[in-house]
């Protein structure tokens, strides 16, 4: 029996014990890492995430009385009971804001959701830059889409989840994480154009090529609503305005120098623009390297991306830099921070034989710096959200 079947049975049993009847079904949605394409999604640019094997699992039943009951096996506290008509953006401040926000966004878009009992359990680390929030949103959206036979496509669910996060929760994030959780496919990275959500699944089977991708969770907790993410986003929008384009995606890489010259001495906006335009180009480079079978050659591109996030976008932190520098010094092919920044996780691409040396070096470097021990694990590109039973 696979791990997801065991998890589904447990979540089903816990739901039944909690609510006194078996659920209508069980669904799961994964967290993600982003291979390349950071802070490009709210600039209409390119991203390339893949799904983690870590998932949020939800057992769900319909209700017809306008009540939403929520319970998480990972959080202390009992069942939260909310009236659908009373759901108001900005008023829930704990984890329940994510599933409530999805229900709110569905209803606000005119979908006839009349209530639900939900029990959740997750293996996605929280606050680690691995999209635990998107997994939570997407699993609820997919379950309600199935149970209420709404017929929404995966990308439409992702958009509704993003709206829940932007408007209901109040975090000004892009569309990458929800699309990754909803649309990724095992053994592939998802090349996504965030302007029109067109997608291409790019085969990404590192094990077959003797390589591994490590995730190093620095255990430095990040949050998107703390203002820094929003400031970067506002700076990018200012750059687009000054350049007279809809979004920074519209500045061609070949015209970057001319664009920077037009921004004059606004050094901060120049740095943000330079990161976004070069990062879009890096995504395209990684796609063509992977399509031509030159996987090891993506390593230096990932490392360039880190330098750009550290020096131009300024969202790294000492712990993330230490992972990258130590991994590279001990034989990694490439390394970079992944996700929103200011903490969270880094990814490291390495030959399989180099993994023990790199892992040990990173752990020792953290111990010498008196940092909290990092959590290191191997990331295998896994499946997107699915109904389990």
Determine the 3-state secondary structure of 152 from DSSP: coil
What would the x/- binding string for ligand GLA be over residues 257 to 296, using CB under 6 A?
Answer: ----------------------------------------
Catalytic entry in 14, 117, 177, 280: 177
159 binds ligand GLA (CB under 6 A): no
CA-CA distance, 68 to 243, in Å (whole number)? 46
38 binds ligand GLA (CB under 6 A): yes
Please indicate whether residue 177 is annotated as part of the active site. yes
Would you state the structure tokens that stand for residue 171, as one six-digit string?
């975090």
176 binds ligand GLA (CB under 6 A): yes
For the bound state, the minimum distance from the C-beta of residue 35 to ligand GLA, rounded and expressed in Å, comes to 11
Residue 146's nearest CA partner among 184, 175, 113, 97 is 113
174 binds ligand GLA (CB under 6 A): yes
Query: 28 vs 34, which CB is nearer to ligand GLA?
Result: 34
Q: Cα–chain-centroid distance for residue 57?
A: 16
For the bound state, the minimum distance from the C-beta of residue 227 to ligand GLA, rounded and expressed in Å, comes to 14
339 binds ligand GLA (CB under 6 A): yes
For the bound state, the minimum distance from the C-beta of residue 334 to ligand GLA, rounded and expressed in Å, comes to 17
Using CB atoms within 10 Å of the CB of residue 225, give its burial: 0 to 12 exposed, 13 to 18 middle, 19+ buried: middle
Contact (CB, 8 A) for 138 and 78: no
Q: Which of residues 5-34 bind ligand GLA (CB under 6 A)?
A: 34
Q: Which member of 173, 295, 330, 345 binds ligand GLA (CB under 6 A)? A: 173
135 binds ligand GLA (CB under 6 A): no
CA-CA distance, 98 to 21, in Å (whole number)? 24
Contact (CB, 8 A) for 274 and 253: no
Buried b (16+ CB within 10 A) or exposed e, 275-304: bbbbbbbbbebbbebbeeeebbbbbebbbb
For the bound state, the minimum distance from the C-beta of residue 59 to ligand GLA, rounded and expressed in Å, comes to 26
For the bound state, the minimum distance from the C-beta of residue 254 to ligand GLA, rounded and expressed in Å, comes to 23
Chain residues binding ligand GLA by CB under 6 A are 34, 38-39, 41-42, 173-174, 176-177, 339-340
- Tell me the catalytic residues: 177
């Amino acid at each position: 029996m696979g791990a997801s079947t065991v998890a589904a049975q447990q979540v089903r049993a816990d739901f039944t014990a909690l609510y006194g009847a078996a659920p209508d079904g069980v669904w799961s949605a994964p967290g993600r890492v982003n291979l390349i394409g950071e802070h490009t999604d709210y600039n209409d640019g390119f991203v390339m995430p893949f799904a983690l094997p870590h998932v949020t699992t939800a057992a769900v039943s319909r209700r017809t009385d306008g009540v939403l009951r929520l319970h998480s096996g990972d959080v202390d506290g009992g069942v939260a009971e909310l009236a659908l008509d009373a759901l108001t953006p900005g008023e829930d401040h704990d984890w329940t804001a994510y599933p409530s926000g999805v229900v709110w966004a569905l209803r606000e878009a005119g979908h006839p959701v009349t209530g639900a009992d939900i029990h959740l359990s997750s293996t996605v680390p929280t606050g680690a830059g691995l999209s635990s929030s998107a997994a939570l949103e997407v699993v609820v959206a997919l379950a309600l889409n199935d149970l209420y036979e709404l017929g929404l496509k995966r990308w439409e669910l992702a958009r509704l989840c993003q709206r829940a996060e932007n408007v209901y929760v109040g975090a000004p994030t892009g569309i990458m994480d929800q699309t990754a959780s909803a649309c990724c496919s095992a053994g592939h990275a998802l090349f996504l154009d965030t302007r029109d959500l067109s997608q291409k699944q790019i085969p990404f089977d590192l094990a077959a090529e003797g390589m591994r991708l490590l995730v190093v969770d620095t255990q430095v907790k990040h949050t998107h609503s703390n203002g820094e993410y929003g400031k970067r986003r506002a700076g990018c929008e200012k750059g687009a305005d000054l350049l007279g384009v809809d979004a920074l995606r519209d500045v061609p890489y070949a015209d970057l120098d001319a664009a920077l010259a037009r921004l004059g001495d606004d050094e901060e906006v120049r740095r943000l623009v330079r990161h976004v335009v070069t990062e879009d180009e890096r995504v395209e480079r990684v796609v063509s390297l992977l399509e031509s079978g030159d996987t090891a050659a993506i390593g230096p591109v990932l490392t360039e991306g880190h330098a750009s996030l550290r020096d131009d976008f300024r969202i790294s932190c000492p712990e993330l830099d230490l992972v990258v520098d130590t991994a590279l010094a001990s034989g990694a092919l490439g390394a970079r921070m992944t996700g929103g920044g200011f903490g969270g996780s880094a990814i490291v691409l390495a030959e399989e034989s180099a993994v023990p040396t790199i892992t040990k070096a990173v752990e020792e470097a953290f111990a010498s710096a008196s940092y909290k021990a990092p959590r290191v694990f191997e990331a295998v590109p896994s499946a997107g959200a699915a109904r389990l039973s």
